[in-house]
Amino acid sequence: MSVRFAAVSLAKKAVKLALLGPATAARTTEPGLFVLIYHRVGAEMGQEMDLPEATFRRQAEWLARSATVVPLSRGVERLAAGDMDRDLVAITFDDGYREVYRRARPILADLGLPATVFLATGFIEGQAPAPIRLGASGRGEPPEPLTWDQVGEMRAGGLMEVGSHTHTHRPLDSLSAAEAEDECERANDILAARVGTAPEIFAYPGAVAGNEDVVVRHYRWAVAGLGTKNVPGRAPAHQLSRTPVRASDGMFFFRRRLAGIAPLEDRLYERLRRRSP
């Protein structure tokens, strides 16, 4: 871990601690669905969206012991039906990095935990750059996409679902309706050809909703950000919330998130992002 990343991680933990009191006061106790967002695992980039493999394993082991983990498709169906007598957790991965197959899959398979991978088809096909690229320091493994053979093997194992994440991973809130339509159609056509079925679930790039009318026409459900638990009656089918898991979370803040304590720092970071030029 670089000195810079360690300092940034410490500062972010301080922000999390400072917001823990207000977040705890706003805790959601009603049963619902948590949808976790992961990206890279063990690439040693020193970035928030790249979890150390050991941390990912500890989190997965905790989930296997302490939570009810379900496939995302089953979770959203139970959410829509109001069939929630306890909290459910769904694990998702964005973009389609190769270490999902090399590192995350064996851990999940050992523990019997299902997951969903949202594929940016242009990245997988070699037609678009990786959504998460190496920083200026060049630390870590270059971002490589899953191969379609690896996607097929994971699906055949019965624990991995596939969803759409557009074709080029451009944020839908910055596109015209025609551009958003093209992103969804191209991704769906490729996924249908490569995996044999059109996806029902969509993840907004950057976890920011946009062009929702287009998304509604193409998908049964869609997931965004916000970092909150989805509860029956207050979870729009095409703007379901997901909770990003960051390297600075470790185990302490990871467990707090799954105790229904909304990560208020996510909203702070989102506001800062939207204000940036």
Q: What is the mean pLDDT of residues 10-18?
A: 48
Q: CATH number of the domain that 158 lies in?
A: 3.20.20.370
For residue 51, what is the enclosing H or E element?
strand 50-51
Enclosing H/E stretch for 18: helix 3-25
Q: Which amino acid is at 155?
A: R
Kindly state whether residue 201 falls inside one of the protein's structural domains.
yes
Helix, coil or strand: residue 44: coil
Range(s) of the domain holding residue 33: 29-275
Q: Does the CA dihedral 158-130-42-99 come out positive or negative?
A: positive
Residue 16 belongs to a domain:
no
* Model pLDDT for residues 241-259, shown as the tens digit of each residue: 999 999 988 898 899 888 8
Report yes or no: 224 and 239 within 8 Å, Cβ to Cβ.
Answer: yes
Count structural domains, the chain. Answer: 1
Cα 48-75-104 angle, rounded to 5 deg:
40
Whether the full predicted model's pTM is greater than 0.85, yes or no, is yes
pLDDT (average), residues 203-220? 96
For position 228, what pLDDT does the model report? 84
Model confidence pLDDT, tens digit, residues 151-169? 999 999 999 999 999 999 9
Is position 1 within any domain? Answer: no
Task: For residue 164, tell me if it sits in a domain.
Answer: yes
Per-residue pLDDT reduced to its tens digit, 62-101? 999 999 999 999 999 999 999 899 999 999 999 999 999 9
243 within a domain of the structure (yes/no): yes
Alpha carbons 145 and 123: distance in angstroms, whole number: 6
Tens-digit pLDDT profile for residues 187-208: 999 999 999 999 999 999 999 9
